[in-house]
Amino acid sequence: MSETRHGTLEELVALRDGEGGAWTREHVASCTACAAELERLEQVRAQLRALPAFAPPRDVWPVVLQGARVDRRRRRVSAWSGVVAAAAVVVLGFAVLRHSAAPAPEDVALQKAMAESAAMEQMFQSLHPDRRALSGQAAGVVADLEDQLAQVDAALGDTTAWRSAPARVAGLWKQRAGLLSALVDVHQTRASVAGL
């Protein structure tokens, strides 16, 4: 007496998905039980796809928008930092050539302010601000500080101002160091590292 083997569920699902083997295809063609099971599997899939969609209970767009704004400012600050650093190299080179003997007091003040800013920037980057989660209020404070930083960086990116008003430029670098210090403070006290 020969035993009839029916298709396994895995074989029938594969057949439904157009991946079934030759044996399963031939068997289903002659087995009403397996053909009915295949039909049922197709029916379940169709009914699953017809289940209604869910609507989010709350509108999270304001949170997404706030996050997108902070992210954009952060990228802008990062991009401007590169421009400012390049401008600093050019202008300091110019200053060194101009004062090959003893540097002028305004150049000393400028270099000191730039060193302070560089130190604060290094501290800020070491906190990995992109990996930190901020509350809505802290995110607003960070966004304001980053906006101000972007404005300072834009002013520092104008190299003609460096030559015409070195004292003002040193002031901008001091302002930059202060803003970075405030950002460090917010991230150290009001942010949590994402994923922890």
> In the complex, which residues of this chain contact another protein (CB under 8 A)?
8-10, 13-14, 40-41, 43-45, 47-51, 53-58, 60-61, 63-65, 67-69, 71-72
Least distance (Å) between residue 181 CB and another protein: 26
- Give the dihedral of Cα atoms 71, 77, 83, 89; nearest 10 deg: -140
Rounded distance between C-alpha atoms, residue 82 and residue 78, angstroms: 7
User: Which residue's CB is nearer to another protein, number 23 or number 94?
Assistant: 23
Q: Which is nearer to another protein, 68 or 104 (CB)?
A: 68
Specify the residue, 43 or 188, whose C-beta has the smaller distance to another protein: 43
Rounded to whole angstroms, the Cα distance separating 149 from 173 reads: 10
CB of 46 to another protein, least distance (A): 9
Closest by CA position to 179, among listed 156, 159, 149, 154: 149
Q: Tell me the DSSP string of 67-96.
A: HHHHHHHHHHHHHHHHHHHHHHHHHHHHHH
Smallest distance, another protein to C-beta of residue 72, A: 6
Residue closer to another protein (CB basis): 14 or 85: 14
